[in-house]
Chains A and B, each alone.
Chain A
Amino acid sequence: MGNTLQDDALPNNNTLLGADELVLNMGPQHPSTHGVLRVKLKLDGERVRGTECVIGYLHRGVEKIAENRTYQQFAPYVDRMDYVAAVSNGLGYCEAVEKLLNVEAPPRARVIRTILTELQRIASHLVWLGTHALDIGALTPLFYCMREREEILKIFEKYCGARLTTHAFRIGGLQYEAYDGFEKDVERFCLDFERRIQEYVDLLTGNSIWIGRTRNVGILNAADCIALGASGPILRAAGVKWDLRKAQPYAAYDQYKFEIPVGTNGDTYDRYMVRIEEMRQSRLICLQAIEKIPEGAIMGKVGKVIKPPAGEVYHSIEAPKGILGYYIVSDGGTQPYRVRIRPPSFINLQALDKMVRGHLVADVVAIIGTLDIVLGEVDR
């Protein structure tokens, strides 16, 4: 992220008391850096004059591991990048390999994938909302969010046996048929969820302290977003209506009606409103999808040994945190020659320095929260 601590020096350091700048080391052990992010802050009093992100504490070399695993073997590894949204990671990877193989998952698999991915989006946004509110000092929403997330994780558990790193999808479709009562569980959750969202909204949206802490904090306008490559809710909060689910439909998104919420100001409050509205839209997508899940096979025509033809493919999906892209190069063997992942968290984190300059220490945690980063994905 560049050594930004050096520039943007104070014009006048010779104050009466000889007060110097303070370099505060935030993290990697800090309650609200969302993992092992380390931010060096250059402070003038409480005002932030510059930041430097130090990342890599959770680096596992996921991309390198891919080169020594078969295509199927690598699928569970992607779950461990953004472990808050494992299902979305898996969807991106499976679809990328399918594109490489030139096969398509059957319609039933695609609809079930869509349902699970949208549930995962809700779960991911719930974790974001809870921790973001906690960073800003509201203790209670976290537990409400976790309560609803638990319902989603239960559906995952019933579907594939795992709750966090699900490995729910397989290349070519699904391994598991939807369990009996799957639709009913999803429907029950979705019907209940509208009321639950209202609880968070009641606690936060109109709260003057919340508005004071989030409005005009960490503004990132559309031009900056695009220049920095920021995507997902951050981009949409700046007013850019760009969502891959609409722009380049994948899975079964072209069959459903939903809105892309956008903000105007690109501040923390707008990002909050965008994500809240996205949860509502995800809920609507789920409700539409369970109405009619097509019958048929759940696995496409994929052999036991996956041996894609030599070539390369780039496939990106709209993960909860932004655009998640997989670039896979095949040399015709059973293992990928190279896998390059475009993680939304890593790229969104670049915006941190631009967003926090001139703000106070308290805003730094609010802005880290609003970026919705997961360090597993940043460091990979």
Chain B
Amino acid sequence: MNPTLHAILVFLQTWWVELTCGVVIVAVVPLVAGYVVLVERKLMADMQARLGPMRVGPHGLLQPIADAVKLLIKEDIIPDEADKFIFWLAPVISMVAALTSMGAIAFGPSFQVARDINIGILFVLGVSSLGFLGIILGGWASNSHYSILGALRSTAQLVSYETAGGLAIISGLLLSGTLSISGIVAAQEKHHVWFIFLAPVAAFIYLAASIAETNRAPFDLPEAESELVAGYMTEYSGFRWALYFLGEYANMIVVGSVATTLFLGGWLRPFPNVHWLNWLDFLPALIIALIGVYSIYRAGKQPVKIQTGFMWAVALACFAVAFVFAAPWLIQLLHKFGLAGSLSLDFVIPGLNGAFWFLLKVSAYIYVFMWLRFTLPRYRFDQLMHLGWYILIPLAIVNVFAVGVAMLLEANGLNRWLAMILTLIVVLASAIFLVRWHDRRTESASTASLAPDSYAG
């Protein structure tokens, strides 16, 4: 055999899983990110007393595809003064970093995207942080004032909030005792509790830090629309802009996955060790089937025939997926009547259901992101820095020690929850102290007296 061909074959034989996963990530994540955008727009519209995208497809279901096509066929503009190579490279870095970090994430016990590496969470954090390089380079290469200000902001933000987020993650890692993603979930199964209940402050700090890391409101200063037009993306348009955009949303999925793995029990269903709740395993199939039923109900109300057809297609797809979820149990049922022979699909259950629960938790996490975005005004740059350095980072450090002490107390025979609550009180007290102290600092810094709300009505 031709040695080159042989080498290629050996390479493929060794790495085919990873390669396939790579292709799947590249193919699927942009689509998912596009639909996350649609969901965000719909949720925003719902909270703001309007409808959101309604034109492309029923209820705007095809809007992401229309957007993608529009961005693809847009003119590719590179400013004259830009550093062309870096301008080209920067969005690619952002996107690649976000997609690569998805590789180590596990959606279920037998659903590792790429490979279960023993430093899984470290890998995810490290690679996703590289995405900031794309932002900084893009802002610099654009050679525009708005862009460079956005890039500078994002640099400072990254340094501050990666620290706080990292320390929050350490609290979770202390509890699990491993960096491996499947190991962390296994530890939560073993402890019979999600770590958010053992380290709530750490989970909260991670939430704040991950919002800042993904440049989302109220920490969206690098791209603050009303101030810096679009921050580091100001000079980007068309598909390069889309790469940044997809990178941002892929990053949201990544931080959501990390938080889910570390604090929300990963792919475990609620109460995995409580046997009388085993019926929860049927829930995924049931929920998806219900979405299908709802689609049929809505299909009749569509104004245009093609939209009715589309809704039917959505419904059928839902039923098909629900059937896949339900298949193992259907076969078990057939076994009872001695009909299915030796066929068994039981091995599928943990994987599929795990993926369902995992994605549900990630969605909930991303929902919180969106909810905060629609509700809160934006922090100012100095306030952001103060929040990070004066409150979150000290609090995260205190929390690391508190979790350690709690574990020590538990190892010495104290009830776990008692230990947890005792240390939590200390952490909350220090949080209150930090906030008060910081408030006093800023208050004395400002010369003017504060206005009383005498006319607040």
Contact = CB atoms under 8 A, between A and B. Distances in A.
Interface in B413-457: 446, 448-457
Chain B CB within 10 Å, residue with most, of A22, A147, A212, A267 = A212
Given A140-B48, A140-B374, A203-B375, A215 B380 contact: no
B42 interface: no
Contact of A139 (B48, B149, B457): B48
B455 A137 contact: no
A213 interface: yes
B267 to A, nearest CB: 33
Contacts of A142: 48
A248 interface: no
A307 B53 CA distance: 55
Contact of A209 (B229, B378, B455, B456): B378
Given A360-B380, A360-B381, A137 B220 contact: yes
Given A143-B48, A147-B49, A213-B380, A273 B227 contact: no
B376 A137 contact: yes
11 contacts: A137-B220, A139-B44, A139-B48, A139-B374, A143-B48, A209-B218, A209-B383, A219-B448, A280-B457, A362-B381, A364-B227
B227 A32 contact: yes
Interface of B: 44, 47-50, 145-146, 149, 217-218, 220-221, 224-229, 373-383, 446, 448-457
A137 B381 contact: no
A209 B379 contact: yes
Given A137-B377, A143-B49, A204-B377, A277 B227 contact: no
Interface in A324-380: 360-365
Contacts of B379: 137, 209, 212-213
A209 B49 contact: no
Contacts of B454: 264
Given A138-B376, A143-B49, A215-B450, A262 B455 contact: yes
Contact of A270 (B44, B225, B227, B451): B451
A362 B227 contact: yes
A113 B24 CA distance: 66
Contact of A216 (B225, B378, B448): B448
A348 B402 CA distance: 54
B44 A46 contact: no
Contacts of B452: 264
A261 to B, nearest CB: 5
A264 B379 CA distance: 24
A255 interface: no
A364 B227 CA distance: 8
Given A209-B378, A262-B455, 11 more contacts: A32-B225, A46-B381, A139-B48, A212-B383, A213-B380, A219-B448, A264-B454, A273-B456, A361-B228, A362-B227, A362-B381
A213 B448 contact: no
A126 B275 CA distance: 56
A159 interface: no
Given A273-B453, A362-B380, A144 B49 contact: yes
Contacts of B228: 361
Contacts of B455: 261-263, 273-274, 277
A77 interface: no
A6 interface: no
Contacts of B47: 140
A208 B227 CA distance: 20
